[in-house]
Amino acid sequence: MNQLMSKKWLKKLLELKVYLLATSNPYFLINGFFLEQNCVILRHMEFEELIKKRHCVRRFDPKKEVSNEQIEKLLKAATLAPSEGNIQPWIFVVVKKQEAKQKLTDAIFGQTAIEKASVIIITCINLNITAEKYSERGISLYSIQSTAAATEHIFLALTDMGLSACWIGAFDEDKVKEILDLKPNLRPVVIMPVGYSAEEAFLTDRKDISKISKIIE
Ligand SMILES: Cc1cc2nc3c(=O)[nH]c(=O)nc-3n(C[C@H](O)[C@H](O)[C@H](O)COP(=O)(O)O)c2cc1C
């Protein structure tokens, strides 16, 4: 009983000490509590702004280049994506050469003005890596999920850096493999032209969440 009482008093004393510290020390007040709370709110707002800002852009300013440092940041962001058993079954090909960009325009059926984008990032699956560990499910599902997650990381990171991009999934896979000189185990899954936008992003709407969700309570 005595032991219990003393523990209770010790807790109360500690609480009092923290309270006194908090009220008497403005540094503690700012750094230890209020600022931390404000940061959480601020970060949340920034994230919302970022995901709302991300949109596909299909026309780029050919005069503005994406730097190597920016490309490195984008690839680093990609590698932070989740992947099956953390095997990271992705390879990113970065195309800067004009001739290759023009060839890629043919491979995507001339859809958008990608030859004007500063760089084109092609996300590929390394089929060997995923097949070795996860067989058929790795090839047909996990690797698609993880490379899509990595591509979205790139998309959000570039939006955060003031750049624009488009997600292109409709392309002639064999042609793309030939243009990029890819080994048979590499499957291109997304072609992403990246650069500075030369158009107002077309604001797309979204289905109401009540129509696309089911909550099991
Ligand atoms: C799997 C996938 C494939 C896509 N393929 C193409 C494509 O081939 N060409 C294209 O112009 N946009 C393509 N898009 C972009 C979509 O059209 C676009 O994301 C959608 O209209 C919503 O617009 P937003 O991204 O601007 O919000 C693709 C997007 C995804 C996720």
Which domains are delineated in the chain?
2-53 (no CATH), 68-195 (3.40.109.10)
Task: Give the pLDDT score at 190.
Answer: 98
Q: Ligand 1: distance of its center to the CA of 133 in Å?
A: 31
Query: 166, 192, 197: which to mutate for ligand 1, most atoms within 8 A of CB?
Result: 166
| 166 CA → ligand 1 middle, Å | 7
The model's pTM: 0.83
Q: How far does residue 203's CA lie from ligand 1's centre (Å)? A: 12
Contact between 192 and 159 under an 8 Å Cβ cutoff? The reply is: no
| Structure confidence by residue, pLDDT tens digits, 4-16 | 455 565 555 555 5
Res 47 pLDDT > 50: yes
Q: What is the pLDDT of residues 86-117, one digit of tens each?
A: 999 999 999 999 999 999 999 999 987 789 99
Q: Whose CA is nearest to atom 31 of ligand 1?
A: 167
- Per-residue pLDDT at 15: 55
Encode pLDDT of 140-185 as tens digits: 999 999 999 999 999 999 999 999 999 999 999 999 999 999 999 9
Q: Do 181 and 165 touch, CB atoms closer than 8 A?
A: no
CA nearest ligand 1 atom 22, residue: 204
CA of 56 to the centre of ligand 1 (A): 7
Q: Which residues make Cβ contacts (< 8 Å) with residue 134, sequence separation at least 6?
A: 84, 85, 142
**Ligand 1 pocket list (CB less than 6 A):** 55-56, 58, 111-112, 166-170, 204
> What's the average model confidence in pLDDT over 57-62?
95
Strand order in the sheet with 164-165: 90-95, 119-126, 186-195, 164-165
Sign, CA torsion 76/112/98/197 = negative
44-48, 52-56, 71-75, 188-192: least confidently modelled range: 44-48
pLDDT above 70: residue 40: no
